[in-house]
Structure 1
Amino acid sequence: MCLSKKSKKLPFVSVVIVNFNGQDYLKQCLDTLLNTSYASFEVVIVDNASTDQSLTEIQSFVSDPRVKVVKNQQNAGHAKGCNIGAQVATGEYLVFLDSDIEFEEKNWLSELVKVVENDNTIGIAQAKIVLAQNKQKLEYLCLNVDALGSWSATYGFDQNMFETNFELMAASSGCCIVRKHVFDQIGGFDADYFIYDDDTDLSFRARLLGYRVMFVSSSVVVHRGGVLRGVSGRLLFHSSKNRFYTLLKNYELRNLWWRFSLLSFFTLMVSATFFVTQKHEEAKASLRGVINPLVDLPKIWKKRLKIQRKRRVQDSELVEAGFVRNDFQGTLDDLKLKLKHMH
């Protein structure tokens, strides 16, 4: 690893893994993680009250001085779990990692650290995440978000198309590195998200403060779990709710109202479609995803005021850079992708 002259000593990195019933993946994740070539790191496992044998499966790793385990008494969700891990962490950098990630290349962490160490404008950087089923295929990259908050759909693209480092709108918390002081400055993950899109919001807030978000092509990791999930009430509720949260907190007022109106209309149409097709649980979940942010509006607005007071980057700058779109292309592409891969 080649660091800049200003930093001859390897910066200490804290790898935070939030686990909930991940017994099928966590052991392999740790097994490959602890063999990384980077020498200065710790692993903080935050267990969200798993009911499977996750913790039993990893008992052999607990004696490793690099490994810490935090046991939550209840499922606090991914976002709050990451924050709890960050509080325990002692690193100059935080790496957030899904428990179903594994590593075939030992230099993945040194490549992430090298990129952020050599450019102070980078607040967050993401690894290249490839699919276990076909390691030539890429998982999602958030090149940009559209008017409804959807990521551009890069799932299944040939990973060789992305051989250089470049800026993203947002980094996936599947495997990303964050400067600890940046994480603290933006207030960490928003625990009210619970799960889904909390990483979009984290990167959005970092960007509003002027930090860059990078894709690091030389840091390659493998995702064993499935990203293309089946539709469930839980997914629909949290993903709908959290898109509203992200809009309400982060956009300027002139861009907030029309996006909010369009997202409300779209989500209500989705709910109505589920109702007509007799999928009542999904219909109710989508509807709750609209109602919940309205009920929580006073709390969301307090967060918004703090974010908007500190922002250094305008919406127009993000639009001009191509990170925020005013169309629905991401949503259309994502719907096509899910129809193609789900039966």
Structure 2
Amino acid sequence: MGYSLEQKINKPKSCIITVNYFASELLGNITALAEKYGFDLIIVDNSCNADESEALKNIHGIVVTNSDNVGFGTGCHIGIEEAKRHSEYENFLFVNPDITEIDFSKIAEALEAFGRDHNAAYFQPLILDNRGEESILGIRATSDARVVLLYTFIKKIFTSLEYYVLHAKELSKNTTNIYIPSGAFFIVKANVFDRIGGFPRDTFLYFEEWLFAARVKKLGMYGYIDPSLRVHHEIGYSTGLQYGAGSAKMLRYRHDAFLTAAVIILSNTVIALAAKGVIWLDYGVRSLILNLKRGRQ
């Protein structure tokens, strides 16, 4: 794996880190966010494609070009390490390329409040997608064993589990605490990564936010949603994977990451063994749904 520095940046207090994979045409919203609110910007490019590299040359920030697709978690970690070479940032903003319609008019107040709360490790804006008020924002505080169930089809059978899934319609005007944030857009204090060993790199794609949140929980810290900030997420743009949809390849990525995260977080306990069985069952159900949908096409 190799990467090269292509452009320089200034040194404000916060830095946006975005992992790109053939999404350069969407990055205008993120570059506009960086320029409007004075953030630095680092794009970590996993595309390994000459045309994509050419398209990124006009980015006003740093472009780190990987020689291999290293995945999302490792891409974020590379972005953090690159940022450390240029400044001592207070915050990192992890933003997916498919974030649009950004309303950050109150970002200065939000970051100030975030900095004052020494127990807060991360927060995120209100993230809406094509489901509107039904958009899923994150997972409330709960056990990691229950988290396993929340990520499987079992949630649709035992509807009481839905309580732990936070939807946009349930937000108040004040901040709302969460356990697992949305991976689409969240803001983290830079010093948190020094305490948890950097951005989680245990999976290629998926469940990094669970691994991150579990490590933060061990520090006695927490996260929350600030509804004064609002963005729109073009859900599934990068992967096309929704419940029972997408490709067999992406479904396998999700399954492998799910197993890895569960074993790490549940620490090879009896609960972890049970979780592995549930995860395999979920994979079988999702694969069946995928094949049935293909058969109807």
TM-score normalised over the length of structure 2: 0.75
Partner of residue 178, structure 1: 188
**Contact 1:108–1:218, Cα closer than 8 Å, also in 2:** yes
SS of residue paired to 2:79: helix
Structure 1 Cα separation of the partners of residues 45 and 34 of structure 2: 18
Structure 1 Cα separation of the partners of residues 99 and 55 of structure 2: 16
CA shift for structure 1 position 187: 1.0
Q: Percent identity?
A: 20
SS of residue paired to 2:137: coil
* Alignment of 1:142 onto 2:139: yes
Rg larger in structure: 1
Partner of residue 209, structure 2: 199
**Contact 2:48–2:67, Cα closer than 8 Å, also in 1:** no
The 1:204–1:76 alpha-carbon spacing in structure 2 relative to 1, beyond 3 Å, is: same
* Alignment of 1:264 onto 2:264: no
1:13 alignment partner AA: S
**Contact 1:148–1:262, Cα closer than 8 Å, also in 2:** no
CA shift for structure 1 position 99: 0.8
The 1:53–1:160 alpha-carbon spacing in structure 2 relative to 1, beyond 3 Å, is: farther
Structure 2 Cα separation of the partners of residues 106 and 141 of structure 1: 20
CA shift for structure 1 position 121: 0.6
Structure 2 Cα separation of the partners of residues 278 and 261 of structure 1: 26
**Contact 1:12–1:93, Cα closer than 8 Å, also in 2:** yes
CA shift for structure 1 position 160: 6.8
Partner of residue 224, structure 2: 214
Structure 1 Cα separation of the partners of residues 235 and 111 of structure 2: 25
**Contact 2:94–2:184, Cα closer than 8 Å, also in 1:** yes
Structure 2 Cα separation of the partners of residues 128 and 26 of structure 1: 20
1:77 alignment partner AA: G
CA shift for structure 1 position 48: 0.7
SS of residue paired to 1:193: coil
**Contact 1:137–1:156, Cα closer than 8 Å, also in 2:** no
The 1:241–1:275 alpha-carbon spacing in structure 2 relative to 1, beyond 3 Å, is: closer
In the alignment, which of 79, 85, 92 is matched to residue 79 of structure 2?
85
CA shift for structure 1 position 178: 0.9
Structure 1 Cα separation of the partners of residues 126 and 106 of structure 2: 9
**Contact 2:132–2:168, Cα closer than 8 Å, also in 1:** no
TM-superposition CA deviations, 1:48-100 (whole Å, max 9, x none): 134374444444333xxxx1111111101000000000001131211111011
CA shift for structure 1 position 103: 4.1
CA shift for structure 1 position 141: 1.6
2:274 alignment partner AA: L
CA shift for structure 1 position 210: 0.8
TM-score normalised over the length of structure 1: 0.66
**Contact 2:71–2:204, Cα closer than 8 Å, also in 1:** yes
Partner of residue 61, structure 1: 59
**Contact 1:15–1:97, Cα closer than 8 Å, also in 2:** yes
Superposition RMSD on alpha carbons, in Å?
A: 3.3
**Contact 2:73–2:203, Cα closer than 8 Å, also in 1:** yes
The 1:257–1:217 alpha-carbon spacing in structure 2 relative to 1, beyond 3 Å, is: same
**Contact 1:80–1:191, Cα closer than 8 Å, also in 2:** yes
CA shift for structure 1 position 139: 3.7
Structure 1 Cα separation of the partners of residues 265 and 285 of structure 2: 29
**Contact 1:124–1:214, Cα closer than 8 Å, also in 2:** yes
- Structure that is richer in strand per residue: 2
Question: Structure 1 stretch 196-205 or stretch 219-228: which is displaced more?
Answer: 219-228
**Contact 1:100–1:223, Cα closer than 8 Å, also in 2:** yes
CA shift for structure 1 position 30: 2.0
